Structure 1
Amino acid sequence: MEPKAPKFQIGDTVVVKEYGTVGKITSIKEMDGGYFYVVNGREGLLGEESLARLEEYNGVFYKKEEISIELKYFIGDIVKVKGYENGLFKVVGFRTEIWRYAEDAWEDIIYEMVGIPGGEWLEADEEELVLVADFEQADTFLNQYKIFYPVKKNPLYQLAAAQMEAGEKIDRLLDMYNDYSLLFKMFGDEEYRMMLEAIISQIRFLQSRLKRE
């Protein structure tokens, strides 16, 4: 009995049924008497039941949207914030908020910061910030002006408060990571991959901060 031929061939245009996205077969693997396919050269194997020929697909297509987000500030930058003219803040993270309506669309970048000195948490958008020293010059700037983070009288209270705050931030970042991970799997956009890397950097920063405290 001749072996069953694969349903799809390299170069075929197919639809991934689960996501409604279109791609091309770039590799075929034969396993356990069946065939599995790689689409657009990405990791993961898809079975024949997961794919459909483009001309045969009757489901919903998801529109791919290219979103370009340019960051003005980066993790480690020292900034001033409008309304807090006598204080300095260090950028420790950021997040993007994407808004879509029938007649309008925009993206917001929210920066997350800690105060110097004091360590109070603050969030602000780009228009509220003024750069004082970028992340490469931050340590030199702080040493030059002899700015230190003071310890509260009760170190146990300080540690507990810092752990609670960092834990809440990590939970939020993990939720964001799951959202962007799903978007990256669906569309494969480079911007989503960059956001995943940025979120991981923020989580590692918070974890290292907890270890130091």
Structure 2
Amino acid sequence: MAETTVAELLAELVALEDPKARKVNERHGDDHGVNLGKLRALAKRLKTQHDLARQLWDTDDTAARLLAILVSRPKAFERDELDVMVRESRAPKVHDWLVNYVVKKNPHAEELRLAWSADPDPVVASAGWALTTECVAKRPERLDLAGLLDVIEAEMKAAPDRLQWAMNHCLAQIGIEHAEHRARAIDIGERLKVLEDYPTPPNCTSPFAPIWITEMVRRRQEM
């Protein structure tokens, strides 16, 4: 598979196009029709090929970029390279996978977290908040949790959708992980009412922070 060309892979992705998958993906803002299970199977076949990943990314095709993320070597990307990539990632799934599968594993993650969190582009800022949410759970000593709650309280209500979602996740994570901040996190959620009416399927936890926090804490206490 080392000889597989970008052109051949683009043709294979076109062959995997599924109108039903495209319809579902487009509801979430993603402009591709490839079933993600089949995309992962293709990536498994290719294994890690970092140079190929860079070439796939440069096609500007959403499915190809998702494949690029899966076959890349996360630690091999330079800081400025990742900064450019996150600014190019307008499709939600590409943005989400890039942050979670690549940036979080990269040695420049903390530097990028600090830079992106204050970025005027709300999509870039949402990447910074996603990295901060990771720190809330795994490296809280890096953070001023009370200060984060101050920012969330002041800015989340009016934030654009993707940034608002990331800030809300951070709010919930603080409430779940840190008992000393839990009451305030729940109070902020109750007052701002962000995602209070979000349609939640049966057997799924609502993203409304007070419900999310309470449910996750309950589950942990029952373990």
Give the number of the structure whose residues are more often helix, by fraction: 2
Normalising by the residue count of structure 1, what TM-score does the alignment of the two structures yield? 0.23
- Relative CO higher for 1 or 2, CA cutoff 8 Å, sep ≥ 6? 1
Give the number of the structure whose residues are more often strand, by fraction: 1
Over alpha carbons, which structure has the higher Rg? 1
